[in-house]
Amino acid sequence: MQDKIADLGLESQKIGLLTSDKFYDKTIIFFNSASMCGYTHQLNEFQEIYNDGLAVPIAIPTNDFGSQEPGDNYEIHQFYNQKYGVAFPICTKQTVEHDFFMRFGKPKWNFNKYLFNRKHDFVKKFDSEVSPRQVLSEK
């Protein structure tokens, strides 16, 4: 049987290759993140969504826009955990040329969001200014 999440080829430092069984029956919001971006405050709302069990946010750090994610994987995790208390998965740093973005739409800036339903089917892509809670209203 096809694993829709594993096929995306994304890895988290904490849980390794992301697979569907790790997020069984959960709505997922992937987003390209950057520590030094003006939208970084959205990490607070993503953490609230995660804490409330509404969805699993998954950050995909990229340094493609304004060099706003210059750190390595360890530094990124430290920043997200210490400054925002992030407990949801953070992928290893990628570029917007990663297959994920090629399949579902290259982001125009940091914090573009990609909504996947509970069956892990792609639903819709959202721009940076759309809040994480607004994304959930589309599911």
Q: CATH number, domain at 129?
A: 3.40.30.10
Q: Structural domain of residue 38, as residue ranges?
A: 6-136
Per annotation, catalytic residue among 5, 18, 37, 86:
37
Residue 104 near residue 125, CB atoms below 8 Å: yes
Q: Whole-prediction pTM value? A: 0.96
Q: Which whole-number Å values give the CA distances from 33 to 25, 72, 128, 130, in the listed order?
A: 24, 13, 10, 14
Alpha-carbon torsion (39, 44, 45, 49), positive or negative:
positive
Divide the 139 residues of the chain into consecutive groups of 10 and give the mean pLDDT of each group.
Answer: 89 92 96 97 98 98 97 96 96 97 97 97 97 90
Residue 96 near residue 32, CB atoms below 8 Å: yes
Q: Is residue 1 part of a domain?
A: no
Task: Give the pLDDT score at 129.
Answer: 97
Active site residue 91: no
Task: Give the pLDDT score at 87.
Answer: 96
Task: Give the pLDDT score at 133.
Answer: 96
Task: Give the pLDDT score at 138.
Answer: 78
Task: Give the pLDDT score at 13.
Answer: 83
Q: How many domains, the chain?
A: 1
Alpha-carbon torsion (81, 75, 130, 31), positive or negative:
negative
CA–CA dist 77, 71 (Å, integer): 9
CA angle 99, 2, 102 (to 5 degrees): 15
CA–CA dist 109, 87 (Å, integer): 24
Q: Is residue 100 part of a domain?
A: yes
Q: Name the 3-class secondary structure at 121.
A: coil
Query: Which tokens belong to 104?
Result: 């579902």
